[in-house]
A and B are shown apart, each in its own frame.
Chain A
Amino acid sequence: MKGKNIFATRWGIIGVGAFIGILAALLQKLGNPGNMGICVACFERDIAGALGLHRAAVVQYIRPEIIGFVFGSLVAALWFKEFRPRLGSAPIVRFVLGVFAMIGALVFLGCPWRAVLRLAGGDGNAILGLLGLIFGIWIGTLFLKNGYNLGRTHKTYASAGLMLALIMAGFLLLLLIFPQKEGEAQSGVLFYSLKGPGAMHAPLLLALIVGLIIGFLAQRSRFCTMGAIRDTVLFGQTHLLGGFIALVVFAFLTNLIFGQFNAGFANQPVAHTMHIWNFFGMTLAGLAFALAGGCPGRQLFLSGEGDGDSAVFVLGMIVGAGFSHNFGMASSPKGVGPYGIAGVVVGLLVCLFIGLTMRKKIT
């Protein structure tokens, strides 16, 4: 489609960030967990739990927001003729990066989206997470400057580009076929949390609609939380950063209006106060996102517009959530899990290996 894409302008991305901030705070008001109006990592982890890929009983629910993100992006891409089915840029590496991005995010207890939403809700621990995120992305930019890349994609079948959207449609169908039953932890093949964050959710239809709107707008604006920091560090380009900052400012203001702002470090919702591991958990996540070329939200939006490699990253994150909880690597409000630190160390080594060895010259 010819003509200028207004969402890709400076004010466009700022407007989208602000809108997402408001919607995220609203989703919390409507029932989502504290400072977790939207958290791509947490919500994919909840989906993994609902499917039984892990059995952490407090985090099991098919989150309609994630389904909406992919479909909103797909609709926008089709509408504006930007749907481009493509794949083949080192998918196995992207899968591994997805796994470790999730392991790192669950040590901190949140993805970059939730890191700023936690900050906007007054959670001081988020500062450590954000600093770690910046540090991890900075390491990623060093690799990028030294020629790191995962190679070219190639064109593929439209149906291949639709694969993650179809998987999401499958999740939505499961949610409708096996709806939550009052007081029961299982409905058909799906698991449902009876307590904890997994039991807290906005009404299905509203969550789905908000997800669709955000998916649509994010596809148009190319909203990316990792890219916001990466572009600033790598090129001094602050375009995406405008959207990221708008998100935190408007989520903060909306939280004030709803009385959802509580400043402090201790007893914050779904958070712990182990500063070093909040930092290094997000260092791992940030590095993995930087090496994979997008934050977890952006990977969903790219999947919606036909990018099969991003879809593989998303599946890596969902599987990573399974490993994270099954292996005791995920944190809880009490602190890091018994193998969380080991998971971060292994993850950082894997990312360094990937960053150092995949520097093939582009031909």
Chain B
Amino acid sequence: MSATVDARGLSCPQPVILAINEIKKGTDNEIIVLVDTDTSKENVSRAAESQGCQVTDISSDGEGYRITISKG
């Protein structure tokens, strides 16, 4: 199962807060985070890794990015 977090249009630090909340909820093994700035992409990836997760994929999605996070 995967959960999706839509953090597009949200400014710092909201995308990271939403991503970490979803990771901590712990119900899904895979989390997709949608962001629309490079800063958010970097911040969410960095936060996921600091939570012991792996960023398995980052792909362009429209004008933003789709980050796939896998819980280790």
Q: Does B56 contact A (CB under 8 A)?
A: no
The CA-CA distance from A86 to B36 in the complex, in Å, is 10
The A contact surface, by secondary structure, is loop
Q: Does A294 contact B (CB under 8 A)?
A: yes
The CA-CA distance from A310 to B36 in the complex, in Å, is 16
Instruction: List, in ascending order, chain B residues with CB within 8 A of A8's CB.
Output: 42
- The reply to whether B9 and A82 form a contact with Cβ atoms under 8 Å apart is no
- The reply to whether A84 and B46 form a contact with Cβ atoms under 8 Å apart is no
Instruction: List, in ascending order, chain B residues with CB within 8 A of A239's CB.
Output: 46
Instruction: List, in ascending order, chain A residues with CB within 8 A of B18's CB.
Output: 362
- The reply to whether B50 and A144 form a contact with Cβ atoms under 8 Å apart is no
- The reply to whether A153 and B9 form a contact with Cβ atoms under 8 Å apart is yes
Pick the residue among B20, B43, B63 that contacts A84 (CB under 8 A): B63
The CA-CA distance from A237 to B36 in the complex, in Å, is 22
Instruction: List, in ascending order, chain A residues with CB within 8 A of B9's CB.
Output: 86, 89, 152-154
Q: Does B8 contact A (CB under 8 A)?
A: yes
Query: Please, which residue of chain A has its CB at the minimum distance from the CB of B37?
Result: A84
- Chain B: number of interface residues, binned into ranges: 20 to 34
- The reply to whether B8 and A222 form a contact with Cβ atoms under 8 Å apart is no
- The reply to whether B50 and A294 form a contact with Cβ atoms under 8 Å apart is no
1/0 per position for A295-314, CB-CB distance to B under 8 A?
Answer: 00000000000010100000
- The reply to whether A84 and B36 form a contact with Cβ atoms under 8 Å apart is yes
- The reply to whether B38 and A82 form a contact with Cβ atoms under 8 Å apart is yes
The CA-CA distance from A32 to B63 in the complex, in Å, is 41
Instruction: List, in ascending order, chain B residues with CB within 8 A of A222's CB.
Output: 39, 42-43
* Least Cβ–Cβ distance between A153 and chain B, in angstroms: 5
- The reply to whether A362 and B39 form a contact with Cβ atoms under 8 Å apart is no
Q: Does B13 contact A (CB under 8 A)?
A: yes
* Least Cβ–Cβ distance between B59 and chain A, in angstroms: 11
Most chain A beta-carbon contacts within 10 A, residue among B11, B12, B14, B37: B11
Most chain A beta-carbon contacts within 10 A, residue among B13, B18, B43, B46: B13
Query: Please, which residue of chain B has its CB at the minimum distance from the CB of A219?
Result: B39
* Least Cβ–Cβ distance between A238 and chain B, in angstroms: 10
Q: Add 20 more A-B contacts to A144-B17, A149-B14 (CB < 8 A).
A: A5-B42, A8-B42, A80-B38, A86-B36, A89-B9, A89-B11, A144-B13, A152-B8, A152-B9, A153-B10, A222-B42, A227-B13, A230-B13, A231-B13, A234-B13, A235-B47, A237-B47, A293-B12, A309-B11, A362-B10
